[in-house]
Structures are given as structure tokens and as C-alpha cells.
């Protein structure tokens, strides 16, 4: 008989709730599921509660549900630290991925160094490549028939090709890299450790190559970059490279897949976009709100009260974006997907100092992907006899998404 998860002594009974991003039934791989709606139901309860065994490694955490309380946590880097050794712990080491796991003010100097690389101007320069890749993939699908498995044949090849081009990494091993990301983000401890070693070994070889043979790419920028007037150390270079490599492997592809999953099941919404192509940017923004994929987690650095519950130094605090993005206090009629929604202050890219560095690029990739898809593919649906599978966890997503446009 399994032992009952323990609750720390400082957590009063009225602050304990039941929720697990990994083990709750709605979070497990489910045919035609909707884990986002399941998380949104948390808003029917308290704004803050303690959930035992809710993290990927089985720890308990405080769950913050409302948009206002999440902003309070994510904005306050002094009280809520982002340092959790997400990557280095998998290989038995102790270092932060930079700048994600650094707290202000240390975080700021690295963020300032990296911001220009993913600015709207730099992203605009990448658009022709993104468009050409999307067209190439879609035309390839059409040439093979009138159906395709979207994640492996479109979403991942597009998103990963774009980011590898940005990093200066050839995409001849594209699906191998996607496999590493799957092992790192969605598998058990043994697979995560093996994948982390593969990623690190590959990046270290790329860094050595760029030191010997500079090019016009992100890796070369890193080996030449300076912070506070000095070159980056080898450890700083690999810490930043790890974040950018992993950040580009999964989340954008997931967003494209989730959007097409929704649209395939709602032909009227497809038609809305075909009739009004100019609303695609706001539609993408709305689907980012409705189907965000990540859950920022912080560590309390001091004792405090949050939402009427006693948070203690060292406690984990989890901010599932799927909850705050459906908060009725923030979004009128939050469970309705409104392609013309205004003042869409969602947290799909997190919030505060650690707001996603690549958000400009992610937005443009998704918009271009859907624009080119709609320009080239007639009305589409879930292929008869197939069942897309949704899942929660570290990064929410969908797989086995076979679309038919015959």
C-alpha cells in the first residue's frame, strides 16, 4: 500500500488541496483530452493551496491559481527565487541555466546582454527563413497525400529548424534533437540524465568548434560575448547555450500543435480565420492564452503569508499558466476562445523579470506557420480512426495529431 504524501507541519489543514500536474487523471495521456480545462477548475477553489507530491520529482508545492497572485509571485524575484537546478541536477551538478535561474540583480546583466539577439528587429530578419521552411514542409505534406501527423511532420521540423538556424546548428540531426527534448522534458529520471549528458556534450563540441571557427550565429556570439567588461567563462557559455537549446526544442512546436488540434475540432473557427485572415495575430494571442504549456516554479526565500496561507522559506511555489489564463477576474468569459479579445494579458510567456526571452520569435513562428497552413491546406479535421492524445506535466502538449484535408 502506497504511503500517504506528507504535508509539512507549518501547512494548516484548510490550506491543503489535491492536484498533481503529472499524476492527476486529466494530466495523464488522454485521447481527445483537455488538460487546460482541468487546471482551470482550480479557480473554483482558493487562490493558494498546498498540494503534496505535485512536482516532477515528487515534492510538494504551493499552487497559486489567480492571475493577480501569480503576478505577485513572478514579479518578486527577491522573495521567490527561480534557482532550481532544473538541468544541472539531472547530471549531478549544481549550476544555474542562465539567465532563467538567476535572480535579480544578477539576472539583469545577462538578460541585457541577450535581449538584442531576440529583439523584434532580429526576429523580423528571420521571417523569410521561417516562411520558406513552413512552405517547404507544407508543400511536402501535400505532395505525399491529404493527411499528416502534424507534430512529427510539421510542428517540430519547423520550430526546431528555425531555432537551430538561429543557434548556428545544422538541422541534419533535427529529429534526434527532438528526441533528446522529449526525454529531458517528459521522461523519467534515468532518461532525463542520459538526455542531459547528450545535450551538454553536443553543445560543448559546438562551443569548441565556434572558438576555432567563428561564424555569424548565436554560438559565436556567446564565445565572443562580454558581461561587465569581461569575457564569459566556459561555464557561463554552456549555461546560456543549454537554456537556448532546450527552449527552442519543444514549446513553439507544442503551441502550433495545440492550435491545429483546436482548429481541427472546430471547423467554424477555421472558417472565421479563412474569412478574416487579418485577425490571425490576435487569434494566435488568444490561443496562447487558452492553451499555455508551462508552469513556472519558484522557491520562497523568506517566510510570508500568501493568499491566507503560511509560506515558509524553502517552500516551492507553483504558478500554472493554464489557471491564470482562465481567471475570470482577468478575462471576461475565459473559457470562450475569442479571436478578437482585447487587453489579452496572458502569462503563456511567464511574467516579470523572467518573461520568456524568445517570445517575439515564438509569436512570429506560430503566426507564420498558421498563415502558410491556411493559405495552402483546405478545411481540415482529425483523421477518422485516429485519436490525438493530450497530456499535462512539465510541458503540456498533444501527440498523434493526424489531420486530414481530403
DSSP codes of every residue in 36-58? HHHHHGGGGS-SEEEETT-STTS
Closest of 123, 111, 119 to residue 353, by C-alpha:
111
CB 178 within 8 A of CB 159: no
Q: Which of 319, 327, 320, 322 is nearest to 287 (CA)?
A: 322
Residue 162 has which C-alpha cell? Answer: 528555425
Q: Is residue 143 a contact partner of residue 247, using CB atoms and an 8 Å limit?
A: no
Q: What is this structure's pTM?
A: 0.93
Q: Fill in the DSSP letter of residue 294.
A: B
Cα atoms in the Cβ-side hemisphere of radius 13 Å centred on 25: 0
Q: Which residue has the cell 493577480?
A: 68
Residue 244: name the closest of 147, 135, 117, 368 by CA.
117
Pairing of strands 147-149, 80-81: unpaired
Q: What is the pLDDT of residue 269?
A: 98
Round to whole Å and give the CA distance between 295 and 145.
37
Residue 106 contacts by C-beta under 8 Å, 6 or more apart in sequence?
Answer: none
154 CB neighbour count, 10 Å cutoff:
25
Question: Which grid coordinates belong to 285?
Answer: 494571442
Q: What is the pLDDT of residue 3?
A: 54
Residue 270 main-chain phi, psi, to 5 deg: -60, -50
Q: Are 336 and 225 spatial neighbours (Cβ–Cβ below 8 Å)?
A: no
- CA of 179: how far to CAs of 141, 157, 195, 304, 404, in Å? 21, 12, 9, 41, 25
In 3-state terms the chain splits into helix, strand, coil percentages (rounded to 5) of: 50, 10, 40
Please say whether the beta carbons of 317 and 61 come within 8 A: yes
Residue pair 310/12 in contact by the 8 Å Cβ criterion:
yes
Among 266, 253, 323, which Cα is nearest to 290's?
Answer: 323
At residue 144, the 3 state secondary structure works out as helix
Residue 129's closest CA among 169, 174, 159, 173? 159
Distance separating the N- and C-terminal Cα atoms of the chain: 51
How long, in residues, is the chain?
406
| Backbone torsions φ then ψ of 282, nearest 5 degrees | -70, -30
Mean pLDDT by 10 residues, the chain (406 residues): 74 93 90 94 96 86 96 96 91 94 94 88 91 98 97 93 84 84 84 92 93 91 93 95 84 95 98 97 98 95 96 97 96 96 93 92 96 98 98 93 98
**What was the pLDDT predicted at 349?**
94
Rg of the chain, C-alpha, whole Å:
21
Burial state string for 57-69 with b = 16 or more CB within 10 A and e = fewer than 16: eeebbbbbbbbeb
What's the pLDDT score for residue 2? Answer: 47
Distance separating alpha carbons of residues 177 and 245, to the nearest angstrom:
9
Q: How far is CA 81 from CA 96, 133, 295, 307, in A?
A: 12, 38, 15, 18
Residue 169 grid coordinates: 546548428
| Strands across the sheet containing 297-300 | 48-51, 61-64, 316-318, 297-300, 80-81
CA distance 254 to 398: 7
Amino acid at each position: 500500500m502506497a504511503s500517504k504524501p506528507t504535508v509539512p507541519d507549518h501547512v494548516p489543514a484548510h490550506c491543503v488541496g489535491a492536484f498533481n500536474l503529472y499524476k492527476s487523471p486529466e494530466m495523464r495521456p488522454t485521447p481527445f483530452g483537455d488538460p487546460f480545462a482541468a487546471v482551470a477548475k482550480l479557480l473554483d477553489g482558493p487562490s493558494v493551496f498546498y498540494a503534496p507530491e505535485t512536482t516532477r520529482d515528487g515534492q510538494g508545492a504551493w499552487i497559486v491559481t489567480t492571475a493577480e497572485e501569480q503576478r505577485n509571485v513572478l514579479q518578486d524575484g527577491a522573495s521567490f527565487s527561480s534557482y532550481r537546478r532544473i538541468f544541472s541536477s539531472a547530471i549531478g551538478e549544481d549550476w544555474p541555466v542562465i539567465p532563467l535561474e538567476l535572480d535579480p540583480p544578477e539576472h539583469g546583466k545577462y538578460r541585457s546582454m541577450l535581449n538584442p539577439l531576440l529583439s523584434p528587429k532580429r526576429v523580423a530578419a528571420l521571417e523569410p527563413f521561417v516562411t520558406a521552411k513552413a512552405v517547404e514542409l507544407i508543400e511536402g505534406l501535400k505532395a505525399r497525400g491529404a493527411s499528416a501527423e502534424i507534430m512529427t511532420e510539421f510542428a517540430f521540423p519547423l520550430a526546431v529548424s528555425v531555432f537551430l538556424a538561429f543557434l548556428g546548428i545544422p538541422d541534419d540531426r533535427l529529429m534526434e534533437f527532438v528526441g533528446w527534448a522529449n526525454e529531458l522534458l517528459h521522461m523519467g529520471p534515468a532518461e532525463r540524465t542520459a538526455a542531459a549528458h547528450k545535450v551538454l556534450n553536443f553543445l560543448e563540441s559546438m562551443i569548441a568548434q565556434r572558438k576555432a571557427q567563428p561564424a555569424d550565429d548565436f554560438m559565436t556570439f556567446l564565445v565572443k560575448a562580454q558581461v561587465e567588461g569581461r569575457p564569459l567563462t566556459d561555464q557561463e557559455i554552456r549555461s546560456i547555450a543549454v537554456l537556448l537549446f532546450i527552449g527552442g526544442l519543444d514549446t513553439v512546436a507544442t503551441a502550433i500543435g495545440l492550435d491545429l488540434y483546436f482548429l481541427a475540432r472546430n471547423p467554424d473557427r477555421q472558417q472565421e480565420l479563412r474569412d478574416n485572415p487579418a485577425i490571425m495575430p490576435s487569434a494566435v494571442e488568444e490561443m496562447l492564452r487558452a492553451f499555455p504549456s508551462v508552469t513556472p516554479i519558484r522557491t520562497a526565500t523568506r517566510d510570508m503569508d500568501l493568499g491566507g496561507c503560511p509560506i515558509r522559506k524553502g517552500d516551492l511555489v507553483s504558478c500554472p499558466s493554464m489557471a491564470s489564463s482562465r481567471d475570470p477576474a482577468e478575462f471576461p468569459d475565459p473559457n470562450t476562445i475569442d479571436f478578437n479579445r482585447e487587453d489579452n494579458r496572458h502569462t503563456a510567456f511567464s511574467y516579470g523579470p523572467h518573461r520568456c526571452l524568445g517570445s517575439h520569435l515564438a509569436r512570429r513562428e506560430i503566426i507564420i506557420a498558421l498563415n502558410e497552413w491556411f493559405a495552402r491546406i483546405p478545411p481540415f479535421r482529425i483523421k477518422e480512426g485516429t485519436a490525438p492524445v493530450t497530456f499535462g506535466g512539465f510541458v503540456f502538449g498533444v501527440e498523434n495529431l493526424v489531420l486530414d484535408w481530403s
